[in-house]
């Protein structure tokens, strides 16, 4: 699925993605495939587009395997 970073809570190492379908999905730092610090900085200054998988968790659907579209092969 495609979406954009809605916000990141740096001190807690998680954030939310606004999906193309209008839904919001929680993701944790461990779900992000890339350099977290770069994502934090860029999300404050620009719209960051991502792709992700919707995965089930005990608290409901969340984002997994989150990847930036501008760095699709980057691994953290």
DSSP state of 20: T
Residues ≥6 apart with Cβ < 8 Å to 53: 1, 63, 64, 65
Residues ≥6 apart with Cβ < 8 Å to 46: none
Write the pLDDT tens digit of every residue in 43-74. Answer: 989 999 999 999 999 999 999 999 999 875 55
Look up the CATH superfamily of 2-68. Nucleic acid-binding proteins (2.40.50.140)
Q: Mean pLDDT throughout 32-52?
A: 93
23 pLDDT above the threshold of 70: yes
Q: Mean pLDDT for the chain?
A: 92
Do 55 and 62 touch, CB atoms closer than 8 A? yes
Domain range annotation of the chain: 2-68
Alpha-carbon distance of 34 to 42, in angstroms, equals 12
Report the predicted TM-score, pTM, of the whole model to 2 decimal places. 0.88
Higher pLDDT pick, 18 / 73: 18
The pLDDT, as a whole number, for residue 46 is 92
């Amino acid at each position: 699925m495609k979406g954009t970073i809605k916000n990141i809570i740096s001190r807690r190492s998680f954030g939310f993605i606004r999906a193309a379908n209008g839904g919001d999905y929680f993701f944790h730092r461990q779900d992000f495939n890339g350099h977290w610090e770069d994502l934090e900085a860029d999300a404050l200054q620009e719209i960051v587009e991502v792709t992700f998988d919707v995965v089930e968790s005990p608290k409901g659907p969340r984002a997994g395997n989150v990847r930036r579209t501008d760095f699709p092969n980057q691994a953290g």
